[in-house]
């Protein structure tokens, strides 16, 4: 698959039809993803974890990308709490996770541990993580069809 249908992610977010960590075999661009989340009135966070091969690599890359530099070298739970805030005053957040294939190849257990923690926090809060890119598989998380 190539790009997602324009407006589809925004419509699903507006309808509150997405929650948790979902694998979507589409190729988002950062600007396209940002446009979709803005259209839905959600906060968006683009994560590209290319070259991350461990949980600590993931934490450090995401801490840097989300401008939470104090979390570089920190723990996964602390990082997840910082990128998926609690409380209604923060609004809903949609995270696009791309570049996950290196982590999946190097350590499928680490990738699944990250996905499971993200999913648990998303279920408690108004959040969704979209594991995107058409290439690769990510066993253990639900697939989302393009609709």
What is the extent of the structural domain holding 41?
18-134+138-142
Q: What is the CATH number of the domain that holds 127?
A: 3.30.370.10
Q: Taking the model in full, what pTM does it have?
A: 0.91
Angle (CA) 72-94-42 rounded to 5° is 120
Euclidean distance between CA atoms 73 and 50, whole angstroms: 18
Residue in this structure with the two tokens 């940002």, named with its chain if needed? 34
Residue 69: pLDDT band by 50, 70, 90 thresholds?
Answer: very high
Instruction: Express as a percent the part of the chain with pLDDT over 90.
Output: 71
Number of domains in the chain: 1
Residue 43 located in a structural domain: yes
pLDDT one-digit tens code per residue, 1-60: 456 687 999 999 998 888 899 999 999 999 999 999 999 999 999 999 998 999 999 999
Residue 51 located in a structural domain: yes
The pLDDT, as a whole number, for residue 16 is 81
Q: Where are the beta strands (DSSP E) in the chain?
A: 20-24, 43-48, 93-98, 127-131, 142-144
Residue 147 located in a structural domain: no
Residue 25 located in a structural domain: yes
Residue 31 located in a structural domain: yes
Residue 10 located in a structural domain: no
pLDDT one-digit tens code per residue, 111-145: 999 999 999 999 998 899 999 998 999 998 998 87
Residue in this structure with the two tokens 């039809």, named with its chain if needed? 17
Residue 59 located in a structural domain: yes
6 vs 35, 39, 73, 93, CA distance in Å? 10, 11, 38, 19
- Check the CA dihedral 100-60-91-121 and report its sign: positive
């Amino acid at each position: 698959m190539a790009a997602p249908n324009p407006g589809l992610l925004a419509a699903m977010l507006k309808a509150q039809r997405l929650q948790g960590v979902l694998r979507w075999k589409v190729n988002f661009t950062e600007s396209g993803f940002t446009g979709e989340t803005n259209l839905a009135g959600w906060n968006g966070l683009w994560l590209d974890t290319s070259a991350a091969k461990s949980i600590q690599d993931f934490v450090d890359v995401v801490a840097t990308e989300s401008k939470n530099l104090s979390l570089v070298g920190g723990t996964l739970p602390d990082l997840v709490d910082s990128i998926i805030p609690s409380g209604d005053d923060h609004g809903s957040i949609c995270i696009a996770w791309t570049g996950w294939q290196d982590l999946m190849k190097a350590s499928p257990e680490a990738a699944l541990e990250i996905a499971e923690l993200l999913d648990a926090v998303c279920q408690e809060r108004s959040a969704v993580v979209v594991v995107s890119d058409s290439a690769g598989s990510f066993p253990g998380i639900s697939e989302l069809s393009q609709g």
